[in-house]
Amino acid sequence: MLLIAAFLFLVLVRGCSTWSGSSGGSSFSLSSGSSDTSAGEESPTDPAETGGGGGGLLGLGGGGSDRPDDPAETGGPEEPYSAIPPPPGSEPLRDRSREGGTNQYGGAYGGGDLPAGRMLVQGAEDPSNGPLKGNRLVAFYGTPLSGYMGILGELPPEQMMQRLKEQTRAYSAADPERPAVPTIELIASVAQRNPGPEGLYIQQTPEEEIRRYSRLARENDALLLLDVQIGRDDLMNEVRRLEPFLEQEHVHLAIDTEYAVGPGQVPGVNLGTVAGSDIQRAVRYMHRLVEQEDIPDKLVVVHQFETGIVYGKQNIRPTKNVQVSLNADGFGGAAAKLSKYDILVSQQPIQYGGFKIFYRQDFPVLSPEEVLQLEPAPAIVNYQ
């Protein structure tokens, strides 16, 4: 009888602990950006879906830890990736913002409000056990359909993977406390100026190509980000089409918002826009996928390169199963890129930030050490 009583007590305690992790909390709206008229429809209220206020902005100063939970405690599925370890003797990331100097591009090194290397935005928490919890992602972006849209299409797959690992290793060396994970960001639907047979102005990447890069990522303990460019299609149509791949443990979602155009508009001619409520539909979809398939937590990356492309950002809320990163895109001079990150990520925070680098079009190409002085430090660094 004593053994039975002890067992029931442990079960009760563990159940209460699990419940308390998803209770309470609220989030607040961002002051910048346009309003989203469908906000009420898309704002989740189910604590199991939102993770309470934990996934949003709680105004808790430095927020929660961005170190990984013990898998033995979380009981979640095993991580389907491996970070590249830092070289022996790698030193912790140096916090240059506290030295009072400025960088060579005329700006300060961060604002000194967050610890060096911290990836969560000010006041945010992460109740999930997703890939950004204790690791940074370094991604190569593009499509095998073209050599003009990123490094992914410039090199044969195996050669590309070797170079990706080398670039990833440089970030593990620069910030050994957050070892980086190699990530393939494959454009699954490519926006084009030709309407195509369905008039959607997108070209689908053949499924055999997606399977090919999915295998490549899995065989190299890497992650795969499937990027949708939308065109005139509905965002959720593009996401649902990828469900057989998104169900895989190592596959995540990225949304290229600038290519989402309306009737009478053409991608690349007209600048697209996406409502935060539409992005939240994708977040909730990924959340349900995790719960239904019992797979590791997911990540949604939101690409943007100008203010106003994503409007109603207050409706984008990470959940206990889904991390969200706002990615600052765009090529050009270093000073402009650093300023853009501040405007698009630091001043409009959701949870994590990302930063894109163009090997051929940035001048100069920022080093990992320079990138990681941004505040918050980018959780995802994409190379195109």
Q: Do 142 and 149 touch, CB atoms closer than 8 A? A: yes
Average of per-residue pLDDT values in the chain: 80
* Residues 323/352/310/331 CA torsion (nearest 10 deg): -130
Residue with tokens 């939101």: 302
Interatomic CA distance for residues 202 and 197, integer angstroms:
10
Task: Return all residues near 174 (Cβ < 8 A) that are at least 6 apart.
Answer: 90, 93, 368, 369, 372
Interatomic CA distance for residues 111 and 280, integer angstroms:
30
pLDDT of residue 96: 54
Q: pLDDT confidence of 266, banded at 50, 70, 90?
A: very high
pLDDT in tens, 347-358: 877 999 999 999
pLDDT of residue 39: 36
pLDDT in tens, 61-110: 223 333 334 333 444 557 889 999 999 999 998 765 445 445 566 554 45
Question: Which one, of 337, 284, 347, lies nearest residue 313 by Cα?
Answer: 347
User: Is 70 exceeded by the pLDDT of residue 11?
Assistant: no
Count the alpha carbons within 13 Å of 275 in the hemisphere toward its beta carbon.
16
Interatomic CA distance for residues 378 and 334, integer angstroms:
15
Q: Do 157 and 213 touch, CB atoms closer than 8 A? A: yes
Domain map (residue ranges) of the chain: 104-383
Q: How do 180-191 and 202-204 pair as beta strands?
A: antiparallel
pLDDT in tens, 120-151: 998 899 999 999 999 999 999 999 888 777 88
pTM above 0.75, yes or no: yes
Q: Which helix (H) or strand (E) holds 303?
A: strand 298-304
Interatomic CA distance for residues 137 and 354, integer angstroms:
9
pLDDT in tens, 275-317: 999 999 999 999 999 999 999 999 999 999 899 999 999 999 9
Q: Do 300 and 279 touch, CB atoms closer than 8 A? A: yes
Task: Give me the percent of the chain exceeding a pLDDT of 90.
Answer: 66
CATH 3.20.20 for domain 104-383, yes or no, is yes
User: Is 90 exceeded by the pLDDT of residue 259?
Assistant: yes
Interatomic CA distance for residues 230 and 233, integer angstroms:
5
pLDDT in tens, 156-203: 999 999 999 999 999 999 999 999 999 999 999 999 999 999 999 999
pLDDT in tens, 22-70: 333 332 222 233 345 443 333 333 433 333 332 222 222 223 333 334 3
Q: Residue 74, SS3?
A: helix
